[in-house]
Chains A and B, each alone.
Chain A
Amino acid sequence: GNSVTQMEGPVTLSEEAFLTINCTYTATGYPSLFWYVQYPGEGLQLLLKATKADDKGSNKGFEATYRKETTSFHLEKGSVQVSDSAVYFCALSYGGSQGNLIFGKGTKLSVKP
């Protein structure tokens, strides 16, 4: 079946450090891939997405590239800020009538000043 595996946290970084959160997926066909973020006390919100192989999603300084050959969608940011502290979820979806999201377990990121 379809599934998403992401690195376990928590991840603790100092401000301005480089961030990588690994995500790999198992799926048939060509799903769309997403990173959702959940800030403390807030609801889930889309951070970035990629809909086909080799696409790069980007937002707020975060990037992730859809790698079909390695079935991966790793999240990166060159210089994290305290305000990036949140839980990050990798997810996949086929859209349309099969559009439900399948989530990873989430990775908690804490950024210290």
Chain B
Amino acid sequence: EAGVAQSPRYKIIEKRQSVAFWCNPISGHATLYWYQQILGQGPKLLIQFQNNGVVDDSQLPKDRFSAERLKGVDSTLKIQPAKLEDSAVYLCASSVLRGDTGELFFGEGSRLTVL
């Protein structure tokens, strides 16, 4: 079974520039998550989708971050304009919805460096 795919793996941009990350979840997983992991910290949820609807985006900085999940499959996370403090690894994860125990499957992450 293919895992969660993310791209790009690495991105370096200057502050005030924009960047987009892409995620393709495991086939059949209804729920998709974007997490932000700053160096030395645990991952923090940015947004959770169930199919193509947003379940929780309470911690998403909506003035600069946006995310969409068209057709309930893959998803894109965008940052515009980027700030220095956005330097982090952006993790995408997916899970089954019904009857699951909360286990999430993670991609390898997209590492963003903002200069």
Contact = CB atoms under 8 A, between A and B. Distances in A.
B104 A101 contact: yes
B108 A105 contact: no
Interface string A38-77: 0000111110010100000000000000000000000000
B42 A104 contact: yes
A94 B102 contact: yes
Interface residues of B, number: 27
A99 B102 contact: yes
Given A99-B95, A106-B41, A51 B104 contact: no
Interface of A: 4, 31-32, 34, 36, 42-46, 49, 51, 89, 91-97, 99-106
Interface of B: 31, 33, 40-45, 48, 50, 55-56, 91, 93, 95, 97-98, 100-109
24 contacts: A4-B42, A31-B102, A42-B108, A43-B106, A43-B109, A44-B93, A46-B104, A49-B101, A92-B102, A93-B101, A93-B102, A95-B102, A96-B100, A97-B55, A99-B31, A100-B33, A100-B45, A100-B48, A101-B43, A101-B45, A101-B93, A103-B43, A105-B40, A106-B42
